[in-house]
Structure 1
Amino acid sequence: MAYKLISRYYKKLSQQSRMQWRTWMYKRYCFNSQSYRDYSSAFLQNESPLPELSVPVQLAGRKYLPGSWHHQFPQQLNNPQPDFPHVVTPSNTTDAANLSLTDWATVVRQYLDDNLTKYGAVLVRSLPIQNETHFSQLVSQLKYNPQSYKGGIGNRHSKVTNVMTASDEPKECSIELHNEMAYSPNWSDLIIFYCKIPPALGHGGHTCIAKVSDYVDRLGQDITQPFLKRGLRYQNYLFSQGSVPYKYITWQQSFQTKEKAEVEEFCTNAGYTYKWDDNENLTYYIDLPAVVNHSKTSKLSWFNQIYQHSPTYTREHPSFEVADLPLDKHPLQCYFGDGGEISEDILFYMRSVNWQVAVGFEWQAGDVLFLDNVLVQHSRLSFEGPRKVYASYLPVEYLARDTLRK
């Protein structure tokens, strides 16, 4: 009898009211009963694998891509793999049109909780997101704790709440594969990218991704063991505003302040050793391991920026072409944890191996890409023409943060 009454009531509802009813029912039962756990699959479906790149993407010899001249550097970018990135879309267009961003955030959050660690990269297409404000609303409703980019050394700026430009590096520059903020004790677990304006086909601008497990397997123990044993030292040298001889980040931009006392407090709390020179330029460093425990699985994962955080990167950057700097005045330095030098031959070999396992895909407007930052690296290739991609960086605190580096 009760079922008949509910069915009769449901039939009288408008289409919009039916959607609201369905959403309430799913939320009511899917989160409070194991038998109705799979809420997200009612609204999201796994798409076919992404197609091959429509235009071959040259890597070897690419200008401003560090190490592209190395004899082991791959000639071209790999196509997407069958489930990397893993692609999902709304199950039907009615859902996409009628669910609010808050509802979609609930759906996406559960899908990520269930699947992100499995796939490493989840690409969600056809959500009702048209601009960075919508993206900000989605990120906020995912109910993660937002992370400040204070102390980050990427060239980017804030747009709206929890949203930054993905990168403000020059178009002609290719950003290397990396785990975001692996040089910091306060890294991001989750990276989210939103594409507002995709680059035109054949004009570059691919966001490339690589599985860390594929990369480290190819490196081999002869390369990895010394880093595991000796650890790493990340050192930065940041000029003060007005004294920088090139267009690159200053300590005021990195630490989001003009007050030296605030910088010193940040460095002290985070465990950095620091010093100022007579021109108020800042040198600071920290010793970290080459691996971390994944915050959800607790498994050890290779997690560092060994070759990315070095003058071998900045020397092949367009902003440094006219800057005649000694190596210790480059903004990025990486040593063994005991202060020993790392061979440039090893750095360029590591680059080549990393790009051998990278894949690329072609953005569509409205795409949202979720990356497990410990399991998957990302990069951006140089491009021509318009391209607008935004990013959000989030710590997912499955465990207390101070346990993760042990």
Structure 2
Amino acid sequence: MMISNSVKPSLKSLGVAKRQAITDVVRITPLIKENSLPLLIQATVEGVNLVAWAANNQELIKKSLLQYGGILFRNFQVTEVAEFQQFIRVVAGELLEYRDRSSPRSAIQGKIYTSTDHPANQKILLHSENSYAANWPLKIFFYCVTPAQQGGETPIADIRKVYQKISPTVLEKFAKKQVMYLRNFGDGFGLPWQTVFQTNQPEKVAEFCYQNHIKFEWKAKNKLRTYSIRPAIAKHPITGEYVWFNHALFFHISSLETNIRESLLAEFKEEDIPHNTYYGDGSPIEPEVLHEIRTAYQQETVVFPWLTGDILMLDNMLTAHGRKPFFGNRKVVVGMAEAYSTDD
């Protein structure tokens, strides 16, 4: 839909400093096709302050996010990470610390992080942020400071539709058995436990594990192994829709690049590799099931190029995200908000 005046306005004539719904300076339409994420909210005049616009259009943003699962804000006046942080606070409250980590990230400012420090030549599969954990953010935000020279897109997928594409037999099995996540730390591969748990103290790790229903064991030479069993299917707390919400495919050894997988299996037993997934009873997830899940994600994947200043807002329980390999300098930062847990 278009929400604009017939004559292209200037900010001065609109008086955007006044408290008003500034919908006359934006164009709202699906980015790619009807009924598909993300929804594009694009400023049609220069200098529109995103924080001010969002503050006056919160109900529109909230309803649109639940409908589409993701909103791309484009052409707004956002030039600093501090403004991105302020925008998150306006639409979702205080930002969350990144703990129980699975991706290497560096702090940029406050609780804003690099989206990932993963090598540029490797892709990151679609996943739902922290869906392997007892707590996760309901909202996740990405801000493109500098797009890559080539590649580096953030693919997204509606996990309501992913759920609908998975066969009832597979859904029923995961609903009954859940997912077991096995992780090993300290062998020089993957993240060290000190980074994952943001502490150097084993007793703090133990406390975190007890609080978050994670079984753990310390191995020789200060190495750590953890096990956790989590649901594979979730119900969105607001819409009531069922979603495919887990890291079953993402953490499975079959998702590693072939050369990396072969190198790890040549050096370690399967139970000692950095991460793997099983059914909750410890039985292996069948190759054909993994293929079905992978296909469902692929069929729902949406990809678009980043532009400087873009902000992507995702409902983490409606939309998965990933990253394409890239060439050249790329700076995309991330912030998360609205903690939710299996106990809520």
TM-score of the aligned structures, taking structure 1 as reference length:
0.75
Of residues 160, 169, 172, the one that matches 1:222 is 169
- Count of aligned positions: 332
Of residues 100, 115, 140, the one that matches 1:151 is 100
Cα deviation code 1:211-256 (max 9, x no counterpart): 11222222211222211111111221111xxxx334x311001111
Of residues 291, 298, 314, the one that matches 1:355 is 298
Where 2:85 maps in the other structure, the secondary structure is: helix
Of residues 25, 38, 42, the one that matches 1:85 is 38
Q: Does 1:205 align with 2:152?
A: yes
- The answer to whether the 8 Å contact 2:16/2:22 transfers is no
Cα deviation code 1:82-139 (max 9, x no counterpart): 3421101235335x1xx4x642441464432221001111000012112323322322
Q: Paired residue for 1:70?
A: none
Of residues 246, 255, 263, the one that matches 2:197 is 255
Q: CA deviation at 1:381?
A: 0.9
Q: Paired residue for 1:346?
A: 289
Residue identity in the other structure for 1:169: H
- For structure 2, the residue ranges without an aligned partner over 5 or more in a row are 1-10
Where do 1:7-406 residues align within 5 Å? 15=12, 18-20=15-17, 22-23=18-19, 26=20, 39=21, 41-47=23-29, 49-50=30-31, 80-82=32-34, 83-93=36-46, 96=48, 99=49, 102-107=51-56, 109-200=58-149, 203-239=150-186, 244-246=187-189, 248-316=190-258, 321=263, 324-395=267-338, 401=341, 403-404=343-344
Where 2:327 maps in the other structure, the secondary structure is: coil
- The answer to whether the 8 Å contact 2:235/2:243 transfers is yes
Q: Paired residue for 2:6?
A: none
Cα deviation code 1:321-368 (max 9, x no counterpart): 577322212221211112211123322332133112211001100000
Cα deviation code 1:270-323 (max 9, x no counterpart): 111111012111111221111122122233322111111122233547698577
Q: CA deviation at 1:143?
A: 4.8
Instruction: Provide the aligned C-alpha RMSD in A.
Output: 2.5
Where 2:16 maps in the other structure, the secondary structure is: helix
Where 2:79 maps in the other structure, the secondary structure is: coil
Q: CA deviation at 1:389?
A: 0.7
Higher mean Cα deviation, 189-198 or 80-89?
80-89
Return the index of the structure with the highest Cα Rg.
1
Residue identity in the other structure for 2:248: I
- The answer to whether the 8 Å contact 2:135/2:342 transfers is no
- For structure 1, the residue ranges without an aligned partner over 5 or more in a row are 1-13, 27-38, 51-79
Where 1:371 maps in the other structure, the secondary structure is: strand
Residue identity in the other structure for 1:338: D
Residue identity in the other structure for 2:112: V
Residue identity in the other structure for 2:23: S
Q: Paired residue for 2:8?
A: none
